Every structure is written in structure tokens, then in C-alpha cells.
Structure 1
Amino acid sequence: MNSALTPPQSDSPEAQGAVMQAHIARQPIVDRKQQIVGYELFARESGTAEQAPAHHTAESDSVLLFNALSNIGAERLFGERLAFINCVVEDLQAEHLDIVFPDRIVLEVPRIYGDDPAGIAAVAAALKHLKERGFQLAAGPFAAASPYAAWLPFLGFIKADVQSLSANVAVALQRRAESWRNLRLVAERVETPEQFKTYFDAGYHFFQGYYFARPQTISAKVINPAYANVLQLMNLVMRQADLGEIELVLKRDPALSFKLLRYINSSGFGLMSEVTSFRHAAAILGYKKLFRWLALLLATVPGSAASPAIARTAITRGRVMELLAKGSLSDEDADNAFVVGIFSMLDAMLGVPMEKALAEITLSEQVVMALRHDSGLFGSYLQLVRAVEQRDFDNIDFLASALGIPGWRVGSVHLAALAWVEDLGI
């Protein structure tokens, strides 16, 4: 690899394998029946922090979005509901928005400094493009003022802070909403029953605040891929390498492949069917979107990977299962057998029970059956590879016979898998 792509060296605890966590707080937004319709997402620096970091930039927004889709998971954060995300003006044309399926994302657009007409016009053009792509857009009460008239056709929500909203402005906003049928009014920072009643009676559509729920922080352990593998994959994507080469890098890094499959199968991506093959995932994403995702991943990865011994064992398992399955199962099932093998140690990598680990990612029923219960199409293959690791020769003979695999082939495949992993440089 080119020396320019050498990962940085660090003696910090983080670089030496300390446990890392991703934290995002969410606060529900409810309708007039007090049913949850969405969540506003906030960055958090720790599981106990109650405020977002003071420094809010396009870079921090990209990390929040990446954590939401790839580290914590869209299902845990907002599922089929809307996700309201604060942004800075630079976000409106930022590349990190390319990684998300926009259907359930609401971008909260800030006021232009000094109400500068040129700035307002430039943002109006960006809003038009984002709405055409499928994003939903929100702004504060300032958007109802005449200087921002060009924004109104593109906005779906006006969010009004009831703690600082006068009665006159509340009435003016309601009139705006009536004249622009696409607008929905959100009363935020509702803290008392009286405030809820006031804005309910005023005809507001949605509500948010401590009266309903305080922000809840959701945390997840971050399993990081090897820094060098991310760089190598970016290099392959940049030169539009064959999908087989890309798949090979994914196969040698369980953390990298786990993040990719969780991202592409998340509700934030919007696929109608699950993806279980790494080659299929790369093909679905395409080079451009895969590169964007990798670039954001790179920003969150420390200089060295954690638990290399676990990763090596998981990769070897996957390769053994893949090679054994190729003789009797379809190519697609052989790919799934590899997935079972490398994800069979997710509980160790995440530090949680397997049941909880599997809740983080969408996998096919047969893969899940193997990982949960050693059952289904791949269950016996997983039991066999464990018996090989433990040199349990009685079980090796029994399981191989049950699968119709000659005993000599099991040993040959295991040696081939070990050599393959060695060639990968792991």
C-alpha cells in the first residue's frame, strides 16, 4: 500500500483498544393524539451528557448521521418514524447526505446570519434540490417572515419554541400554515399542560418537550474495523476495482462488514428487501455511495483495530464454512455461510449477548437461526467448524457424515482457510 495511506500511530488509550461508545439522544415528537410521529436526534459526548456539544459543524453533523445509521442503527433510533436532524448551512450541500435514504429524514435549516438576501436565495436553491431528492425540511418561525418567502414552497415544518413565542407570532404562524397547506406547525419546548392546551387549541399539528418526554440517550459499543482495511477499500473504490476485490477486503474484516450490512439494511437506507451478501451490498450501493460511507467511517475509526484474535477466528470460521458449503449449497448460500461464520462471534466483539447483537442488524432467517440456535440450513456447518477449532474429532466425524462431507475434506478445507487468512495479512 502507498505510504501515504499508512495509518497514524498513537499511544493513546483509544488507539490501544479501549472500549468506544457512540451516543445519540432522541426526543419524541407527537401528534395531536399524543402518538409519536418522529424523534429529534441530538449528538451526545457521553451516555450521561444532557446537552449537545457546544461546537456544531458540518463535520459533527456527518458523524451524528453516520453513528445513527452505522453504529447505533436507524431501527433503534427512529424506525419507521421521522428523524429530525439539526444542520448548519454547509450541510445542505454536503456529501454526507449522499449516504442516507431521505424519505424519513427532516433537516432543520438554520436562519441566515443577518437575513442576508444573497444567502437566503442560495439556500432556497439548495432546499429545492433537497426536496426534489426526497428530504423533508423544517425551519424556525423566522421562515414565516417576508425575507424568507422563497423558502416556504420547500418547507414541510415550522418549529416554534413556545418558551419564546409571543401570542401574535403564534397566530401569524397559524395563518401561514393555513395559506401553505404543505406546512405543519411543531410546538417545541412544551413543558406544562397549559402550554400544550394553548397550542393544541391554536391548531398546531405536532408537539415536543419535557411535558411529553425528556431526551433519552441511546448508546452502543462501537466495533471498529482496521484503519488500514478502510483505507484499502477506499483505494479500491476510487479506482473502481472489480467487486470481487472489494468483497475480499470486506470478508477479512468482520467489523467492517457488520457495519456495512447494518447500514444498508437499515430503515434509513430504504431498501425493500434485505441484503446479506457483501458483493450484493457493494453492488447496491455503487462506487460513489460506498466511497461516501467509507469516508465517514474513516473519520470515526482509531488508528488500530480492536480484538485482532477474535477477528482472525471469526474470519477463519467464515472461510471454512464458505468452502464446505460450496460443495453442496448454492453460491448464494455459500456467501451466507461465510456471513454466519464471521458473525458467529458478534457477541464477543460487541460485548453483549448474541440475542442483543442480532437486534442490531437485519439478516436472513436461516442466518439468524444458525447464530441463535445452531439450527437451520447453516447450523450444522457452524457446529462443525466449532468442533474443528476444539479438535473434537468424534463430533467432527459425526457432523461431517450428517452433512455428507468426507472427513478428509474437513481437514483440507481448514488448512486452506488458515492459509487464506494468513495471505490476507491478518
Structure 2
Amino acid sequence: MPLSGDFYLTKVPILDDHQRIFGYFLSIKNREDEPVSVNELADLLVNVNLEKIAGSYPVFLKVNNEVIKHDILDYIPAEKTVLLLSTDDLTDEDVQLIKELKNVGFRFAFEYGGDLGRISEIFDYIFTDVNQIDSDIYQHRDKVILTGIFSTEEFKQLLNEGFRYFKGDFIFKPSTIVEKKIDPSKLAVMELFTKVRENFNPPQIEEIIKRNPDLSISLLKYVNSAAFSFRSKITSIRHAISILGQRNLLQWLLLFLYRAGSDSSYAETLLEVSAERGKTLEILAQKLNLSDEEVEKSFLVGILSLVDKLIGISPEELIKELNLDEEIVKAIVEKEGILGKLLNIVEKTEEGKIADIADVISSLGLNLNDVMSAQLQAFAWFEEVNIV
């Protein structure tokens, strides 16, 4: 079934105290602060495979209290979903029903309203803004998911206070960038990227990759992943290089760049978001019938749009290191050109502010259905690709 014209969702990672992805907060349309109705939830379940967009992670969905009384719950994977409810208008009947649903595997989160009394026996998680932390929240901090964080410094302070879960949209803010020297392992990957892009010489590339066991293992896992579905398994580096070709090899190198030195803060989250951005841009570029070169650049724009936060250098410096052209820099930094407009669309959709760029979408001859379909395909693609 095709997506309805005004259907789209945002997917924000929830991080744990190890700065890794714990789950995802999904919101439908431009209404993050409003709960999902039964009809909207039905639209979501028809169009979205939660396994495809979240993998093994739980999904947090803010829903109306009416949802827990509806047979639509029969179509929700209890093991995958945490239903986020408001304590407003929560009746004794609702509380009893929630207890029964918990017995069959459902989990529930609540928005903090200043009192845990009525929900003390039924909540699995509590969502609250950092400005609402009080003695009750502090006492249950191992079950609290904090929102409203604006900087890495604030995040680290809350970590030190014993909080475990955090809505992770703060890591994309500019304040999280700290200038630092490029890690040697990342620099080696960047140099290999440049070699592959400027002179695709498979035997030479094979020798470089074989000298690095991590690269070799990652390449074989990548090419043998479900994303490619080759008839026979790839067992050698040379075979992998030849069957992938230059374009896919470049994509793999950029994805690996995010994983090189995985002790970096938020590396896993940045990898996923940037990879999904790149794939979404690539699909939209193909939808616009752009040239093969522009389609290749679109993926680069998406994945490079967050690499500065991982490596700690500006996009301009990074592009210089990778010897890429000015069009990519302008697309990332200034949102100029078609690729810049596509990146702007994807970023605003992630933020739940798609209304801000409705005119941009229309000017490119696209619609919300195109954008959402591309994102869902990108989510599914990432779950099929092994990048380690």
C-alpha cells in the first residue's frame, strides 16, 4: 500500500550510559508532542516494518490512552514496542488494563507529571525533561529517559549523577564538536578512500586492505551482507573488490570510517544516522534522474554531513583531506545546489520540521511520499548491511 500524502515519521536514537543506541523514539508527522491516535498507528503499521527500521532495538511510541483499549494491539510486536502514555486522564480502569498488558509482554513508559504515585507499579520507563529532575526522578534514575539535553557537557554531568538513558538528538548540535587531531586509523581509511576514488586499481587496493585485518574482515562481511544478495558467498578480498566496484567500495570505506576507533563518543549512532542520510539522498537523487556522478555525490554528502562530529574537524578540512570537489562542501555547509536541498530535506525531516521545507520538496518535483519512501528504504538497507 502506498504511503498517504502527509505520512512521515522521525526516528531519534535513545542512548544508554555507554553512549550506545538503546532504542528509538518514533513520532509521526509534525507532532512530536502529540500522541499517536489509533488511526495514525494503523497507518504506521501498514506502511512500516518495525524490524526493518529498528533492528533489534525497542521502539518508543507516544500513543493516546485509547490505543491500549483497542484491538490494534494485536498487530503490535510487544517485544519490540514500548508504549509512551501520559498520566493525564489515566483512569483506574486504564491502570488495571496496563497491568494485564504487561503480563503478556508489553512495556510502558510515562511522561513525568510530578508524581509517580499512580504509576509506581506499572511504569518501565519515565520520560522527563532535565529541568524536571526532582527527588522522585533521582530515586528512579535507572529507569528515567532524559530529554532536553543541549550539550555533551550536560550529558556527561548527568552520566556522573547515575542516569542511564538519554534522548540522543543533542549529539547532532554544533556544540558537540571538539576540534582534535585525526586518529591514525581514520587517516589511513581516508587515504585509501582517496586512492580508490582517483585511481580504481583493484590489485593495488587489495594489497592495502590485506595489510589491515580489520579492513579485510569488515569488507568481507559487508559484501556478504543481505544488502547485496549475491548468488555465491565472497571468500577473497580481490573477489570482493571486483564484484563491489568503485562506487560501493567508496561507500563501504566511508561507513568503515565511522567505525574506525569505535571508542569515539556516539560513533555507533553517528554511523547509523549518517549512513541512512547518505542512502536516503542517493535514492532521492535517483528519483530525480540525476547523473550517476551526482548520485554518487549525494551519498557522500549524506554520510559526510556528520563526520565532523566524529572526527572533530570541519567539513571543509575533511573534504580537503579526501580531495572532494567544492560542490559537496557547499551542499553540506551552505545547503546549496540540488544536493544541498536534498540534505536540508533529510535533516528537517529528522527534526520533525518537514513543514519548514515543504516548498523545497515541491520545487524539486518531489512530495512527502517520495521522501518518506526513501527514508524507509534507507532504514531497511542499513539493517541489512553488516558494518563492523
Considering Cα pairs closer than 8 Å and 6+ residues apart, tell me whether 1 or 2 has the greater RCO: 2
TM-score (norm: length of structure 2): 0.41
The normalised TM-score by structure 1 is 0.38
Bigger radius of gyration, 1 or 2?
1
